[in-house]
Amino acid sequence: MSEFRTELIKRIENDGAIPVSQFMGEAIAHYYQNQTPFGTKGDFITAPEISQMFGELVGLWCVDIWIKLGKPTALHLIECGAGRGTMMADMLRATKALPAFHDTLSVHLVETSMSLMVEQKQTLEGYDVMWHESMDQIPLSAPFILIGNEFLDALPIDQYQFHKGAWHKRLVGVDGGKLVFTTSEDKVEVSHYGQEGDVIEISPARDAFVADVAAKLKQQSGAALFIDYGHHKSAVGDTLQAVKDHEPVDVLTFAGEADITAHVDFESIAQEAQEKGCNVPPVAAQGAFLQALGITQRAEALARSANEAQINDIQTALVRLTAAKEMGVLFKALAITSDENIRPSGV
Ligand code: SAH
C-alpha cells in the first residue's frame, strides 16, 4: 500500500473521518506531486496534449479578447493548473506573429505541484514566465485574461447524501483497515429535494475561486475561459472519479496514485461570476467552441504540409477534440468577461 494511504488511514483511525473535500484535496496534491499524470505513459490525456491545435485556438481566443478590450498596452496572461505547460507553449507560439500582442504580455502560471512546475519551466524555456502558488500572489496591475483547462475539475468538492429523510455530509472513514465512504450523523440543511441514497455535490473551493477571479476581473477588466468536463445545470449524482493508466479505478483504493476529479457544475460557477457583476454567455460544448474558432480550417492548413501519417494524426485529433461521442459535448467552455460589451468568440 502507498505511504500516502497508510498515513491517511492511520490519521483517520486516530482523529476520525474526514469530509470528501479534504480527502480529494490531499489525494490530488499528492498525486500531482508524485506521479506522471499525462500522456500515453501517464494516466490520462488532456486536450492540449492531444493536439497543438487546441492551444493555438485558445491563443487566438485571447488575441480576440485583447482587441475587444481596446488593445491595452499591458496585459496579464494567466494560466491556472498548466500541467506540462503544453497549452501555454502552443498559445505563445501561435500568437508570436502578432508582436503588438506579445509585447503587452506578462505571463503568469498558477501551479501547486512543484514537479509540474519544473516540467512547465522546461516546456516554456525562452519565454519570460512567472510562477505562483495561488492567484493572490499575482500583482495585478492591468487587464488580464485567465485560462484554465481541466483545472476546475481538480478543485475539491463536498458531497451530501440523502438518508432517512435528511441530507448528511459524506465522509471518508476507515473500516477494517480500509478507506470507506460514510456519512456524518449530523443532518445538514441543503435546499434540494432528495430521495434515499441521492448524492449531491457542492464545491466551495471552485465557487470561491471563480468568485475571486470575477471580482478581480471587475477591478482590472478582462476575461476568463474555463474548459472542463461537467454539466450545464446543477444536478443530483455522484461524479467523483479516479483514472489510472487510462482506466477508471476505485477512488479510495487508489487514493494518491490515480487522478481524482469531479464534474464541474457550470451553472453554479456562472452564478458566482454573475453575482460579481461579470458577463457570462451561455456555456458552449467544446466541439462547437473549437469549430467556431476555426479548428477545421486549422487542421486543413496543418495537413497541407504534412505526410500521410501526420494527416491521419491531425484527423484523429480533430475527431477526438470535437466529436459528440468523444470530448465534443461532455467538455464545455465557459467564458466570463468583465463587461457585456466584450463579447468572447466561440460561446
Ligand atoms: N491544464 C493542463 C493540466 C490539467 S491537470 C492540461 O490540460 O493538460 C490539473 C492541473 O492543475 C495540474 O497542473 C495540477 O497540478 C494543477 N492543480 C491542481 N490543483 C491546483 C490548485 N489548487 N492550484 C493550482 N494548480 C492546481
Cα 7 → chain centroid: 28
Mutation pick for ligand 1 pocket among 88, 113, 241 (CB with most ligand atoms within 8 Å): 113
Angle at 227 between CA 103 and CA 54, to 5 degrees: 60
Tell me which residue has its CA closest to atom 15 in ligand 1. Answer: 113
Strand intervals (E) in 278-317: 284-285
Centre of ligand 1 from the C-alpha of residue 132, in Å: 12
Mutation pick for ligand 1 pocket among 22, 24, 32 (CB with most ligand atoms within 8 Å): 32
pLDDT digits (tens, 9 = 90+) for 251-307: 999 999 999 999 999 999 999 999 999 999 999 999 999 999 999 999 999 999 999
pLDDT of residue 234: 84
Q: Which long-range contacts (CB under 8 A, 24 or more apart) does 243-252 make?
A: 243/43, 243/44, 244/43, 245/43, 246/43, 246/44, 246/45, 252/172, 252/178, 252/179, 252/180, 252/181
Locate the ligand 1 atom nearest the alpha carbon of residue 79 and give its number: 1
Name every protein residue with a CB atom under 6 angstroms from any ligand 1 atom.
28, 32, 38, 46, 48-49, 80-83, 87, 110-113, 116, 149-151, 154-155
pLDDT digits (tens, 9 = 90+) for 12-26: 999 999 999 999 999
Centre of ligand 1 from the C-alpha of residue 110, in Å: 8
pLDDT digits (tens, 9 = 90+) for 40-84: 888 999 999 999 999 999 999 999 999 999 999 999 999 999 999
How long, in residues, is the chain? 347
pLDDT of residue 64: 98
pLDDT digits (tens, 9 = 90+) for 183-223: 999 999 888 889 999 999 999 999 999 999 999 999 999 99
Locate the ligand 1 atom nearest the alpha carbon of residue 150 and give its number: 4
Q: Which residues contact 255 (CB under 8 A, 6 or more apart)?
A: 2, 4, 5, 8, 23, 27, 179, 242
Tell me which residue has its CA closest to atom 24 in ligand 1. Answer: 111
pLDDT of residue 59: 98
Centre of ligand 1 from the C-alpha of residue 345, in Å: 24
Say if residue 248's pLDDT is above 80. Answer: yes
Centre of ligand 1 from the C-alpha of residue 162, in Å: 31
pLDDT digits (tens, 9 = 90+) for 326-344: 999 999 999 999 999 999 9
pLDDT of residue 36: 84
Say if residue 324's pLDDT is above 80. Answer: yes
CB-count exposure of residue 271 (10 Å: 0-12, 13-18, 19+)? middle
Centre of ligand 1 from the C-alpha of residue 66, in Å: 25
Supply 147's cell numbers. Answer: 485560462
Centre of ligand 1 from the C-alpha of residue 303, in Å: 31
pLDDT of residue 235: 85
